[in-house]
Structure 1
Amino acid sequence: MNTLTKLALGMLGQLKPHGAPADAARTITLPAARRHGGKPLVEALMQRQSQREFAPGPLTPQQLADLLWAAAGINRPELGGRTAPSALNAQEVDVYAAMADGLYRYDPAAHALLHVAASDVRRVTGYQDFVDSAPLDLVYVADHARMKMVPAAQREAFAFTAAGAMAQNVYLACAAQGLAAVIRAWFDHRALAAAMGLGADQQLLLAQTVGLPAAPAQT
């Protein structure tokens, strides 16, 4: 679906998700994230970039596990510490994974994806056309109910800061693994919140599309 069509449907309140397979897994237990290998940090930083063309193939379970762990995984089990910072350790940002077979929320403690909705919400995660068919659209959502220790005037800024750190972790993981990614903030907030079933205390922050890079055109 192209951008103009999405804008028109959004104005009419008709930008909605597709159905997903009825037999989608209720919980996807992910393989352990790889803690060794990949490219050195400086090389990953040199290759970090936004890409907006994706191959149609799915990500492997290992790639999905590595990306989600990079975004919000536990890297210090004895403390419950995460790979990305959070003010006052509120851990207010949840990472949702929109895929063809449904919408899932990443549970860092279990290192698993928990089923949220039996619908393909990818096309609602952004006005860009590539979000419809890329294998994975991550959505970063703040739960302000967890931020009671943070002054109200600072909660939104702190949540966006945490989401930005998570998204950069994903960018670097993609650069290290040869995957394509792009961060996005242009989406229909009302339509996406409805498609995801978000509550009053939950705030959409950012989205990030991830997939295999499109093959270069043959000449």
Structure 2
Amino acid sequence: MNTLTKLALGMIGQLKPQPAQGNAVCVLSLPPPQTQGGLPLMQALSLRHSERKFAPAPLNHQLLSDLLWAAAGLNRSGLEGRTTPSAMNSQEIEVYVALPEGLYRYEPSGHLLYLISATDVRRVTGYQDFVDQAPLDLIFVANHSRMTAVPAAHRESYASVAAGAMAQSVYLFCASAGLGTVIRAWIDRQALSEAMGLQADQQILLSQTVGRPVTAPPAAETPAAGVSPPPA
């Protein structure tokens, strides 16, 4: 669906999810993340860029596992420490995963995806046309009920910083794994909140599209460990 059509539908409150493509499961157990290998940090930074043309081919579960661990996974199990920071350890950012078969919420403690809605909400995650067909759209949601230790006046800015850190981790993972990604804030937040069934204390901050780029990214010397380079 093109941008003008989305804008028009949004104005009349008719920007809605699509029926799911494929079968969703209530709980999707992800394989353990591959935390070794990948490109050196400086090389990944040099390849980091925004991509806006994506192939519709789905990401396999190992790529999805590694991607979500990079964004918000546990890297210090004894301390419940994560790969990205959070003010006062509020862990207020919830990562939602919009796939063709359904909308899921990522649970770092079990490295699981919980089904929220067996609908395809990808086209509601942004006004851009490419979000409809890319295999994955992430939505970063601030749960303000978890921020009781943070002064109310600072909660949105603190949460935005945490979501930005997650988005950058996704960028670096994608650069290392030969994937494309772009962060987005042009969203019909009311339509998306309704599609996701969010509560009043949950705030959509950002969305991020991920997939294999249609055009090849800048050449990398080696792919991430266990990850095949994208098809030519």
TM-score (norm 2): 0.92
Q: What secondary structure sits across from 1:78 in the alignment?
A: helix
Aligned to 1:158: 158
Q: Stretches of 4+ moved more than 3 A in 1?
A: none
After superposition, the C-alpha distances for 1:64-91 in whole angstroms (9 at most, x for unaligned) are 0011000100000010000000000000
Match of 1:2, as an amino acid?
N
Q: Which runs of 5+ in 1 are unaligned?
A: none
Kindly indicate whether the alpha-carbon contact (under 8 Å) linking 1:126 and 1:187 is maintained by their aligned counterparts in 2: yes
AA partner of residue 99 (structure 1): L
The corresponding residue for 1:195 is 195
| Deviation at residue 22 of structure 1 after TM alignment | 7.5
Q: Give the number of equivalent residue pairs.
A: 216
1:89 and 2:89 are equivalent in the alignment: yes
Map of 2:37 onto structure 1? 37
Preserved CA contact (<8 Å) 2:30 2:65? yes
Percent identical across equivalent pairs? 62
Report the TM-score when normalising by structure 1: 0.97
Partner of residue 206, structure 2? 206
Query: Is the CA contact (8 Å cut-off) linking 2:22 and 2:100 kept in structure 1?
Result: no
Query: Could you say if the C-alpha distance between residues 126 and 212 of structure 1 is closer, same or farther in structure 2, counting changes exceeding 3 Å?
Result: same
Say whether the 8 Å CA contact 1:71–1:167 is kept in structure 2.
yes
Q: 1:105 offset after TM fit, Å?
A: 0.3
Which runs of 5 or more residues in structure 2 are unaligned? 217-232
Is contact 1:141–1:203 with CA below 8 Å preserved after alignment? yes
Aligned equivalent of 2:3: 3
| Structure 2 CA distance for aligned equivalents of residues 152 and 126 of structure 1 | 28
**Aligned partners of 1:35 and 1:147: how far apart in 2?**
29
Kindly indicate whether the alpha-carbon contact (under 8 Å) linking 1:106 and 1:112 is maintained by their aligned counterparts in 2: yes
Task: Report the 3-state secondary structure (helix = DSSP H, G, I; strand = E; otherwise coil) of the residue aligned with 1:204.
Answer: strand
Contact preservation (8 Å) 1:21, 1:118: no
Q: Per-residue deviation at 1:215? A: 3.8
Q: Is the 8 A contact 1:55 1:215 kept in 2?
A: no
Q: Which amino acid aligns with 2:28?
A: I
